Amino acid sequence: MALAVEADQLVKRFSGRSGTVDAVRGVDLRVTEGEVFGFLGPNGAGKSTTVRMLTTLMTITSGSARVAGIDVTADPDAARRGIGVALQEAGLDPRQSGRELLVLQSRLFGSTAAQAADRAQELLELVDLVDAADRRIKGYSGGMKRRLDLASALVHQPQVLFLDEPTTGLDPASRLTVWEEMRRINAQGTTVFLTTQYLEEADQLCSRLAIIDGGVIVREGTPDELKAELRQRLSLAVEPSLDDVFLDATGRTRERIAGQVQEVQG
């Protein structure tokens, strides 16, 4: 299988008056075409910084990255044509309507006005926003904004879709709707690179995942492989959850006491 995302020794260093911080310290990643790849980590672990480098939004201090087969540093515009991006903060213009936003986004990718109008209608139907299409975005609910953001990342039918915490702050019903959209998009052949803080989400959606902590990858594999490895290593009597894998990988442990869950520093 061809690689949709490939990173070699990716490093991001921030320098400021208060000193130098290495937010990402030599990350290697391989995501094959058609996968839903989960990228997990605690707050400040380097997830979003890695995504911003892979999506051309941030310069790479050292190392290299290719998305959709294109080097993001050597030819960022070509890389941008191959990717769709929905970041943590839904990037929407509140003064436009949902339809206007999608038409504009489509035209920025080179569509004619007629093509852009058709594509906007298709996407509005896909994310179930036809009824709200001509209302200003500032009146949309959080879930509607998230779905519209997802739709705007799909206007040009990207090969790889980057979703940075797409369900953070959503209610359970909206979260399930976004999951459904993600599955549908992936079933159409789009590779999904998903960062999330919700381990259940990763367990439900991802075929493979990596856990980043302190700017380095600390675990990588399928959810089942990671659970089996932990069970074997710690000789656990019961199947661990992805939460257990995550806590173990990030240097914390959890004790189960009579049905209660207690988190302690390892």
Partner 1 sequence: MNQHLVLGQRAIREVLRTPESLFPTVFIPLFFLVVNVGQAGRIFPAGATSFLEGQNYAAFQVPSALLLAASFGSAALYLVEDIEGGYFDKLRAAPVSRTAIVLGRLSAEAAKSVAISALIVLLSLPFGISVASGALGFVLLLLLAAAWSVVFSGFMQLIALKSRSAAATQSGSLVFFPLLFLTPNFVPRDLLTRPMEIAATLNPVTYIMEALRSLILDDLAWAKIDRGFAVVAVFGLVMVALNVRTIRAYD
**Which tokens sit at 118?**
């058709």
Q: With CB under 8 A as the rule, give the number of residues binding partner 1.
A: 30
Is residue 20 at the binding interface for partner 1, with CB under 8 A as the rule?
no
Is residue 59 at the binding interface for partner 1, with CB under 8 A as the rule?
yes
Is residue 23 at the binding interface for partner 1, with CB under 8 A as the rule?
no
Question: What's the min distance (Å) between Cβ of 230 and partner 1?
Answer: 36
Residues numbered 110 to 149 that lie near partner 1 (CB under 8 A) are 110, 136
Is residue 71 at the binding interface for partner 1, with CB under 8 A as the rule?
no
With CA atoms as reference, report the closest residue to 49 among 71, 89, 22: 22
Is residue 85 at the binding interface for partner 1, with CB under 8 A as the rule?
yes
Is residue 151 at the binding interface for partner 1, with CB under 8 A as the rule?
no
Among 10, 45, 83, 242, binds partner 1 (CB under 8 A): 83
Among 33, 69, 109, 183, binds partner 1 (CB under 8 A): 109
Among 9, 96, 168, 241, binds partner 1 (CB under 8 A): 96
Is residue 57 at the binding interface for partner 1, with CB under 8 A as the rule?
yes
Is residue 78 at the binding interface for partner 1, with CB under 8 A as the rule?
yes
Among 77, 173, 235, 259, binds partner 1 (CB under 8 A): 77
Whether the CB-CB separation of 244 and 254 falls below 8 Å is answered with yes
List residues near partner 1 by CB under 8 A: 55-59, 77-78, 80-81, 83, 85, 87-96, 100, 104-105, 107-110, 136, 152
